[in-house]
Structure formats: C-alpha cells, structure tokens
Amino acid sequence: MEQKLPNAQTVLILGIISVVGTCCCSGLVGIICGLIGLSKYKNDKLIYDANPTQYSDFGNLNTGRILCIIGLVLGCIQVVYFIFMLATVGWAGYMEQINQLSRMGGRG
C-alpha cells in the first residue's frame, strides 16, 4: 500500500508561500520559506530514495522543490536590488522613488 511522504504537502505550501511572499511582501519571506522548504525536501527525498515504491506523492515534493528554488532566487534578487538601491540613492532617494510611483498610480 502506497503512503504519502510526511512533508510533501508542507514543501509544496512553503514553495507557494515563497513565490507569492516574495512578489507581495519582501524578499526575506521568499528566502526564509525557500530555505525551510528545501530542508524539508532533503529529508523527504532521503526517505523516498530508501523505498520509492512505497510512496505516491513524489510529484508534489518535486513541484514544491522547484517553487522553493524559484522563490529563493526571486527573494535573493529582490534583497540584492534593495541593497543596491540603498547604496546608490540612499534611504531618502529610495523613499522619494516610492512616493513618485505611488503618485503615478493615483492618477490613473
């Protein structure tokens, strides 16, 4: 009888949160959830490799891994961009750009 891997659904959820959290909140959400998801993936992959015929949801585990990697990469890009912006224009310049973007969005 096939059973489910213990963390496959968790890895999938963490991958989704990683991608969505990076796009909606900050890169730190993507980095944290991506790293936790990849750690849980590693544990379940070892369990799966020991007896592959016993488990049925390896596809969910792989999909979660891919999403965690995407969220991790996007989160790192966002954090690097934020650091670059602070280094080049400073906090005041960054806030001015944010204010300009919000004013442009209010006109539409």
Residue-wise pLDDT for 28-43, tens only, equals: 999 999 999 999 999 9
The residue whose two tokens read 């990076």 is 22
Residue-level pLDDT at 66 = 98
Q: Which pTM value belongs to this model?
A: 0.87
How is residue 30 annotated by DSSP?
Answer: H
Secondary structure (H, E, C), 7-21: CHHHHHHHHHHHHHH
Q: What is the mean pLDDT of each run of 10 residues along the chain (108 residues)?
A: 91 97 92 97 96 92 97 96 93 90 77
CA–CA dist 14, 16 (Å, integer): 5
H/E segment holding residue 108: none
